[in-house]
Amino acid sequence: MDDPAFALRDATIAIVGIGLMGGSLALALRAQNACRAILGITRSPATRDQALARGAVDEASGHLSLAASADVIVLATPVRTIMRQMAEIGAVARAGAVIMDLGSTKQAIVRAMEQLPARLEPIGAHPMCGKETFGFHAADAALFQNAPFVLTPLARTSPATLALAQTLALTVGARPIVLDPARHDRIVGAISHLPFALAATLMATAADLAQNDDLLFTLAAGGFRDTSRLAASDTTMMLDILLTNSNHVANLMRTYAARLNQFADSIEGKDESALRTMLEHAARSRRELYV
């Protein structure tokens, strides 16, 4: 594996879970003719048929045993499913195979990867992209374009495996960034998991109010649609994320709640000066972030 680009071109890659993320990875690799073969593993016969019909995979199965011949195995299922699959992957993967994941939390997955047999090459990964829609029908070869692609090596991860993972990220158009798993979970708790929790809470609050006024959702326009968009995300996926990053997300939600209470007090007290300072700071920070 001296040349990771050559190693990727010559590799058979098995993708476990060919929904939005796994399916998009398969399509992106296929679009670049990046590897020798792509194997797709999913329990859904309909998804297997769709992936084969779109040319995303060369072969598809509902069983992890298909991954036995793969040089790289990518786990693209929900986080707790990835953790449950680790033991079976460890049993079927060939010696020297790279085991990679696309899970949205990293500490729990990396701990599970540490239990893999020494003959395997694990590395954690999380592409920072996605949609509120899910399933293979939403898969898009361009999903990873210009997106940060976080890599969280283990202490045992070899330089060659890290280089291969970086090459894979670059090949699908992403920007690889190496991070410690704990730092990753702290950051994505604030910028990804907290926004989902807020969107879900907003949607639940509005739904409660709509029970007493049937015009509420009729009048909802772009602002509400944009702010609540994440609430439509896959429930199983988000449950796994919240429960495997629970401390960070819960603490962030409490910090947010304290700020929200402060905001409410300023509104109730008609404290225009405090409100102006708060709103101007938020507006300036948002504008500077996306100049």
The predicted-structure confidence for 206-258, as pLDDT tens digits, reads as follows: 999 999 999 999 999 999 999 999 999 989 999 999 999 999 999 999 999 99
Domain 184-289 superfamily per CATH: 6-phosphogluconate dehydrogenase C-terminal like domain (1.10.3660.10)
Work out the average pLDDT over 79-100.
96
The predicted-structure confidence for 15-72, as pLDDT tens digits, reads as follows: 999 999 999 999 999 999 999 999 999 999 999 999 999 999 999 999 999 999 999 9
Q: Give Cα 238 distance to the centre of its chain.
A: 10
Enumerate the domain spans of the chain.
4-179, 184-289
Fold for the domain defined by 4-179: Rossmann fold (3.40.50)
Beta-ladder partners of 75: 16, 101
